[in-house]
């Protein structure tokens, strides 16, 4: 199933229909020597209107177009995560346009208008965005990233990566790795604080031997672990009431 590439309002449909009607009228009833010239002019007028309406829809259908790009991004991400590297050579505008129920020409024009990139340029851009993500958030070696994203070899990938980002993959990874280590160290300190606070409160309760409970502060850590380390830490406290 392929959806139409030209979305017309009711008024625009009337304009297109009128042009077609005039062309048909001249074809069926050629009255004089002017018929041929009128047919040509009406065809040119029809094509001009179609081009006008075609370009207009990229402006007025902005939200719909963004949703299409988002769907395309999800399909690409799924491909990066699950498909074998050799299939990257088979990525084509026609394949993805078909998955999105669009014509390949319309899909390429849509990408160009929304992102400023052609299909090939956008796919390449997304591959490097995925490479940056893996360099930042995983400990995958460069050779594995190169293979999984379908590049020829690590040397070729490194040259392209430096050309696009201004630094090599290893240079890009080191500052992010340092930030991650600092974040992990901070989370360990918070975790230690949690244990110290709980232990200190328990000592106070034991010392007073009272039926009244002390006010205890609990720190709750929400650790999302990856191969590199904890990515997020949030904490809050619960103020207990006396018995």
pLDDT at res. 101: 87
pLDDT at res. 232: 39
> How sure is the predictor about 199, in pLDDT bands with cuts at 50, 70 and 90?
low
User: Given a cut of 60, is residue 95 above it in pLDDT?
Assistant: yes
Q: How far apart are CA 10 and CA 57, in angstroms?
A: 14
pTM greater than the 0.75 cutoff: no
The region of weakest confidence among 41-50, 54-63, 209-218 is 209-218
Q: How far apart are CA 55 and CA 10, in angstroms?
A: 17
The two counts, helices (H) then strands (E), for the chain are 9, 0
* Percent of the chain that is helix, strand, coil (3-state, to 5): 70, 0, 30
Tell me whether residue 57 is exposed, middle or buried, using C-beta atoms within 10 angstroms of its C-beta: 0 to 12, 13 to 18, 19 or more.
buried
DSSP-based three-state secondary structure for 134: helix
Q: How far apart are CA 137 and CA 22, in angstroms?
A: 63
| Mean pLDDT of all residues belonging to the chain | 75
104-140 residue pLDDT tens: 888 988 899 889 999 989 988 998 999 998 888 888 8
Residue listed under structure tokens 């500052």: 175
Beta-carbon contacts of residue 27 (< 8 Å; ≥ 6 apart): 39
pLDDT at res. 226: 39
> How sure is the predictor about 188, in pLDDT bands with cuts at 50, 70 and 90?
low
- The CA–CA distances, whole Å, from 198 to 106, 233, 243 equal 63, 19, 18
Q: How far apart are CA 67 and CA 118, in angstroms?
A: 18
Straight-line distance from the first to the last Cα atom of the chain, in angstroms, rounded to the nearest whole number: 68
Higher pLDDT, 133 or 207: 133
User: Given a cut of 80, is residue 103 above it in pLDDT?
Assistant: yes
Contact criterion met (CB below 8 Å) for 131 and 169: yes
Q: How far apart are CA 67 and CA 172, in angstroms?
A: 31
Longest Cα–Cα distance of the chain, Å, equals: 115
């Amino acid at each position: 199933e392929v959806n139409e590439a030209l979305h017309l309002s009711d008024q625009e449909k009337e304009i297109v229909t009128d042009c077609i009607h005039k062309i048909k009228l001249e074809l069926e009833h050629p009255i004089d020597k002017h018929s041929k010239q009128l047919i040509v002019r009406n065809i040119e007028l029809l094509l001009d209107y179609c081009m006008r309406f075609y370009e207009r829809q990229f402006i007025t259908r902005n939200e719909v177009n963004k949703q299409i790009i988002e769907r395309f991004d999800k399909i690409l991400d799924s491909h990066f995560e699950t498909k074998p590297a050799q299939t990257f050579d088979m990525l084509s505008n026609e394949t993805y346009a078909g998955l999105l129920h669009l014509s390949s020409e319309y899909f390429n024009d849509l990408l160009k208008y929304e992102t400023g990139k052609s299909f090939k340029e956008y796919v390449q851009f997304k591959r490097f965005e995925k490479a940056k993500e893996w360099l930042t958030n995983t400990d995958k070696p460069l050779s594995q990233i190169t293979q999984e994203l379908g590049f020829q070899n690590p040397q070729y990938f490194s040259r392209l990566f430096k050309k696009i980002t201004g630094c090599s993959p290893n240079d890009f990874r080191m500052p992010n790795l340092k930030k991650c280590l600092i974040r992990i160290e901070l989370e360990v300190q918070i975790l230690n604080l949690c244990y110290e606070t709980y232990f200190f409160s328990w000592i106070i309760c034991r010392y007073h031997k009272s039926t009244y409970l002390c006010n205890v502060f609990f720190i709750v850590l929400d650790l999302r672990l990856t191969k590199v380390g904890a990515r997020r830490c949030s904490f809050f406290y619960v103020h207990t009431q006396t018995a």
